Structures are given as C-alpha cells and as structure tokens.
C-alpha cells in the first residue's frame, strides 16, 4: 500500500512499509536540475549536489553521522531533478530525517568550501568529458537537437568556466530558490510505519518555511531577464555535424525527438530501444555487428526527460567502415520497424523482459523509494503497478506508429565522431 501526506509547508511525503527488511530508505527528491539553470551559468545544480555534503546550519559533518548510524548515502543530479538518499537500520531512521531536514533548512557554506567543491567539479568535468574518449558526445549532440530548451546542455554544464566563475552568492541564490520543502518530495520505504513517518516528518521538516520564490517552470532565471519557456520548436530538417578527436575508432550518433516522460510514446520508445539494442538477440547487434560487421558496439536508449526527450542510437564503427555506410545501415533497420509489425515472439520477449526487470528493480527497498519519488513527481499514482500497466499496454501497432512518427530524417540530428588521422 502506498501512503501519502503533505505538510503545511508543501513537502510531499510518500511511503511504503516493507517488513521483509530491517532497513529503511529515506529518499529526498528536489524538483531542480540543469534545466533550471541560466545558459550563462550552467552546472550549478550539480555543484550544489556536491556542496550539500559540506555541512549545514547545525551539522558540520554530514557523512560522519550517517556512518555512526550504520547508514549509507549518495546523490545524483540530471537535467530534471536532484536526488539524495540514505539507507540505514530502522532503529536509527530518525538520523536521516534530522540530517536531511537540516540541509534543507540551510547550508553553512564558506568561500573556502565553495572553492574546494568547485575544484572537484571542474576536475570531474575534465576527466569525464574533456579528457576521456567520446566524453564530449553529449556536449555535441544536445545543442544540435535542442536550440532553445535548456536540455541543450548536459548536467555537468556547458563549460568549466561557468563553475570557475560561480560565487558564494550565486550558489546560495540558486540553493535558496530551489531547495525548499514545497519543491521537494520525501519518499520513505522500509520497516517503518506510516504514522511514524508522518510524526518524524512533522517534527523535523514541519518547522521549515515555504520557499520565498515559489519556484515554478516559468519563473525568471537568476542572472537573466529571460524566462524558462521550456519550449523547443519542431525540428524541420536533418542536422549534421562532423568532428575529429583522438579516439580509437569512429562513432556514429543519431538523436531523434520523442515524447515526454508522461506520454505513452515514452513507454513505446523505451521498448523500441530494447528491440534495437538490448541483448545479443536485438536487431542492431544481430545485423550490424554479427552479420554485417559494420559496428563493434552499439547502444540505443532514451533520455527519460520530463519534457520532450531524445531517442539516441550510438555505434562504434569497425575498421574500414565509413560513417555514411553505418548510418545507411541504421536507417535500413529503422525502416523495417516502420514498414512491418514486430513479430509476436520477438515483441513478447522484449516486453516480458522489460516487465521482469522493472518488477525485480522494485523489490529492492531503495530502488522502490527512488522510483516512488520520481513517479510522484510526474503524477503517477503507483510506481510499480501503473508503470507495468503502461508497458504491458504497448502493442506492436503502437511500435509501428511511433516509429513512423519519430524515425524521420527531418526529426534527426546526426553526429559523425571521427578518429584523427
């Protein structure tokens, strides 16, 4: 049973009791990500994720208290949201409420702590995106696909310079705007009753005031007079770019616009990527790697974006194969999806695999807590049942119709990522 409760300050609470474990997962999702940044000041959402571990008003050492309570914690940021979690024994669960509420109440940052974490983030930027083979793919393909929407930059930001230039005032301004109870969802899963969750939430989060800015998707951006329209004009022609890098082999990247996270098209596209590249029996792996030997690796995936997202196909080319040859082969496979229904045996195999993966994923109490928070954010009533029903309702005809809608050249951005000679 899924339980819900909302505090007077707007904090949404969602709970599921699981008595099969002696542990509890306390997950706090903030409705803020890279999409909420100013184009001239990117990377702030990710930077603040780091700074949330630098100490709060009453608790200067966050990690030590987690460890003393026998817990583990981590966090992550994407373009739409920032997520924090703690798992710990049920006997010490109040520690999680205490720690997370104090970080929401206020960070105790200094010029020095901000500079330290700026250095950490800049180094991460360099290692993962600038100095790593193929690390800048998202910095190249996103601005090709998006011309106005803030999805045009990855979570890490557009450039390290934006982080270098961030001041303590900038950081705290972003934090105070978005890290508020009315912009957050607290999900709790494990061996704890709903009454106890409500009691601890009222005790620790109840006194925190609502956000001063009442953050919404149409608010004015900091450092700018523009607003977050979050609208991307319809793409009307194919977009192409070729780059040369010090990489071991050429890569083909193709990105297609698709429906948002709440749409049925999202679930159809997710299954399409499984048909194309999930497992050794998938079409692109069977045909382009094993049969035709055009690629050495291939992947197809969707970005589960709150707004209209991307379906991506990426493949590393075999020696002697041109990007044009690889691209033509991919288009040929996509044409098959558009022209004929996926055979029932193949389709049922993909759909059953998707269902089993999601079912087993939710057995873990932490995964369940994370999924509950995200489903609450997008407005779905039950993370497991509702999602499974959506996937199970997809038909072979849906796949064909969506393939015909999205796999168009005018809806595609193509990146030729070539090895320097």
**The pTM is what?**
0.93
Place of tokens 């301004």: 173
Distance CA 27, CA 366 (A): 8
| C-alpha to C-alpha distance for 264 and 260, rounded to whole angstroms | 9
| Chain position carrying tokens 């809806």 | 411
Contact yes or no for 307/256 (Cβ under 8 A): no
CB 238 within 8 A of CB 398: no
Contacts of 303 (CB under 8 A, 6+ apart): 79, 151, 309, 310, 312
The C-alpha atoms of residue 342 and residue 421 are separated, in whole angstroms, by 41
Distance from C-alpha of 335 to C-alpha of 403, rounded to nearest angstrom: 8
Residue 267 in tokens? 């679930």
Buried b (16+ CB within 10 A) or exposed e, 36-65: bbbeebbbbbbbbbbbbbbbbeebeebeeb
Angle at 331 between CA 304 and CA 354, to 5 degrees: 35
Query: Block means of pLDDT (10 residues each) for the chain, length 421 residues?
Result: 96 96 98 96 97 94 95 97 98 98 95 96 96 97 97 97 97 96 98 98 97 49 41 94 97 97 94 96 97 98 93 98 98 98 96 88 91 90 76 95 98 97 82
- Residue 119 CB partners (closer than 8 Å, separation 6+): none
pLDDT digits (tens, 9 = 90+) for 112-164: 999 999 999 999 999 999 999 999 999 999 999 999 999 999 999 999 999 99
Q: pLDDT value at position 386?
A: 81
CATH number of 2-204: 3.30.830.10
Beta-bridge partner residues of 187: 14, 27
- pLDDT reported for residue 213: 55
Cα 224 to the center of its chain, rounded Å: 25
> Measured between alpha carbons, how far is 82 from 77 in angstroms, rounded to an integer?
4
Q: Do 141 and 153 touch, CB atoms closer than 8 A?
A: no
Q: Which fold would CATH assign to domain 239-419?
A: Cytochrome Bc1 Complex; Chain A, domain 1 (3.30.830)
Q: Are 396 and 342 in contact (CB under 8 A)?
A: yes
Pairing status of strand 251-257 against strand 12-17:
unpaired
Cross-strand bridge partners of residue 407: none
DSSP 360: H
pLDDT recorded at residue 381: 65
Both tokens assigned to 4: 């819900």
Round to whole Å and give the CA distance between 313 and 300.
4
- Pairing label, strands 412-419, 239-245: parallel
| Spatial CA neighbour of 300 closest among 404, 403, 149, 153 | 403
Domain boundaries in the chain?
A: 2-204, 239-419
**Beta bridge partners of residue 189, listed in sequence order:** 16, 25
CB atoms within 10 A of CB 227: 11
Under the phi-then-psi rule, with left for phi > 0, alpha for psi from -120 to 50, and beta for the rest, what region is 343? beta
| Residue 381: partners with Cβ closer than 8 Å, 6 or more residues away | 2, 375
- Which of these, 99, 213, 188, lies nearest to 376 by C-alpha position? 188
Q: Are residues 149 and 232 in contact, defined by beta-carbon separation less than 8 angstroms?
A: yes
Name the residue among 141, 76, 390 with its Cα closest to residue 259: 390
């Amino acid at each position: 049973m899924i339980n819900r409760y909302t505090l007077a300050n707007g904090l949404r609470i969602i709970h599921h009791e699981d008595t099969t474990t002696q542990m509890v997962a306390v997950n706090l999702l903030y409705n803020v990500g890279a999409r909420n940044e100013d184009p001239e000041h990117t990377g702030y959402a990710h930077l603040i994720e780091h700074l949330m571990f630098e100490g709060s008003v009453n608790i200067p050492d966050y990690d030590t208290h987690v460890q003393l309570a026998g817990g583990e914690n981590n966090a992550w940021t994407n373009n739409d949201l920032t997520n924090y979690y703690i798992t710990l024994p049920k006997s010490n669960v109040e520690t999680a409420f205490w720690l997370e509420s104090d970080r929401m109440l206020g960070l105790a940052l200094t010029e020095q702590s901000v500079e330290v974490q700026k250095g950490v983030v800049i180094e991460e930027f360099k290692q993962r995106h600038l100095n790593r083979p193929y690390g800048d793919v998202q910095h190249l393909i996103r601005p090709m696909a998006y011309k106005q929407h803030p999805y045009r930059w990855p979570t890490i930001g557009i450039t390290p310079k934006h982080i270098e230039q961030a001041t303590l005032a900038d950081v705290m301004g972003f934090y105070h705007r978005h890290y508020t109870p009315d912009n957050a969802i607290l999900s709790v899963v494990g061996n704890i009753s709903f009454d106890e969750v409500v009691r601890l939430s009222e005790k620790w989060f109840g006194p925190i005031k609502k956000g001063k800015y009442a953050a919404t998707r149409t608010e004015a951006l900091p450092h700018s007079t523009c607003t977050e329209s979050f609208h991307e004009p319809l793409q009307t022609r194919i977009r192409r770019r070729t780059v040369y890098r010090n990489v071991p082999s050429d890569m083909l990247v193709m990105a297609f616009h698709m429906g948002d996270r709440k749409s049925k098209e999202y679930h159809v596209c997710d299954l399409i990527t499984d048909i194309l590249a999930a497992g050794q029996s998938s079409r692109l792996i069977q045909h382009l790697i094993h049969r035709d030997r055009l690629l050495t690796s291939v992947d197809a995936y969707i970005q589960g974006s709150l707004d209209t997202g991307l379906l991506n196909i990426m493949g590393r080319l075999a020696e002697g194969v041109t990007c044009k040859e690889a691209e033509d082969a991919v288009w040929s496979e996509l044409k098959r999806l558009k022209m004929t229904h996926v055979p029932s045996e193949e389709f049922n195999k993909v759909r059953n695999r998707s269902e089993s993966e999601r079912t087993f994923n939710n057995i873990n109490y932490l995964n369940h807590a994370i999924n509950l928070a995200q489903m609450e954010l997008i407005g779905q009533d039950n993370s497991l049942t509702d999602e499974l029903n959506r996937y199970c309702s997809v038909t072979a005809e849906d796949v064909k119709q969506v393939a015909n809608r999205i796999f168009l050249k005018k809806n595609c951005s193509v990146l030729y990522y070539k090895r320097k000679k």
